[in-house]
Amino acid sequence: MKVTNDTELTIQDVAEERQQGHTTRKYLYTALEKALGIPVVAYFTSFRYAVTITDDDANMLEQILQKCDIKKGFALMISSPGGSGLAAERIVNTCRSYSGTGEYVTIVSGKAKSAATIICLGSSKILMSKTSELGSIDPQIVMEEEGKVKWFSVYNVVKSYRDLFSKAVKEKGNLQPYLQQLANYDEREIAEFEAALALTDDMAVKILKTGMLSSKTPSQIKRQIHRFLTPEEVKVHGRPIYAQEAKNCGLNVDMIDLRSKRWALTRELYIRLDSFVSTDDIAKCIECEHYSFRAKVRGS
């Protein structure tokens, strides 16, 4: 426990430490701001509870940014399993709008997956270590099969439909097996899925074209980040994309030495915040050195 004054330790101090309250992290923001040269804002959503990135998060983040002096830019430490791509796009716009003449960089001390990866793509630079994880941004869908809820890649659903349809068109003999399988698909849903894929591609390309890959054409960007857009290379949506792989895609990734003081500070802040959004029904936390907003799990 870090005591920041000379007063006697109190019951309140112990309770704050046990609950990983905001005061237990304030000194880390001060130290990180000194190490990075810019203010640090944290944005964490729980990996334990069923919560996602939503538009409300952009509103919470904006309230924090309004209170901070970030005209020269800031660092956004992010940890989240993902959520709405449109909400992520809005968060990118919010971060860029408030950073003034500066830019915002992202810090990934643990995992920033799916829509959280989109927020990282919108930054001017991503700070990662060899253990940090980004992830695919292709949309997913929940389906119920035989009474069980399963997650499916929208890309794979559309691809399986296209492949099956193509085989049926080429078939010169018995079409019945293909027709039976095609009956499992709803053409209207396939159209919606295709639109969702196109939206994700467009979102990622535009964000990068106006950011860290501004010198590339849209087609070049799409080729470079193919690993993020489809499950073809990573095979499954949840598979980690590590720092070197992200660099190989042309992204501006700054590798932090695992033995450095800067990594020790970011890791400690990550551990404290990750613990905070995993206990006492806290689902989300957005904060800086002086201000902290949190959201509880619904129904708690």
Structure tokens given for 294: 């949190």
State the Cα–Cα distance between residues 27 and 4, nearest whole angstrom: 8
pLDDT tens digits, one per residue of 257-273? 999 999 999 999 999 99
CA atoms within 13 A on the CB side of 241: 32
Q: What is the mean pLDDT of residues 154-172?
A: 91
CATH 3.30.310 fits 11-135+240-296, yes or no: no
Question: Percent of the chain scored above 90 by pLDDT?
Answer: 74
CA angle 239, 208, 151 (to 5 degrees): 30
Helix spans in 106-175 (H) = 115-121, 154-170
Does the pLDDT value for residue 229 go beyond 90? yes
Strand ranges for the chain from DSSP E: 40-45, 74-79, 104-108, 126-128, 140-145, 148-153, 253-255, 282-287, 292-296
Q: What are the residues facing 133 on neighbouring strands? A: 111
- Cβ atoms within 10 Å, residue 292: 17
pLDDT score of 174:
86
Q: Please state the domain extents for the chain.
A: 11-135+240-296, 138-217
pLDDT tens digits, one per residue of 45-94? 999 988 899 999 999 999 999 999 898 899 999 999 999 999 999 999 99
For the chain, what's the residue count? 300
pLDDT score of 233:
92
Question: Percent of the chain scored above 70 by pLDDT?
Answer: 93
**Lowest-confidence region among 2-6, 144-148, 230-234:** 2-6
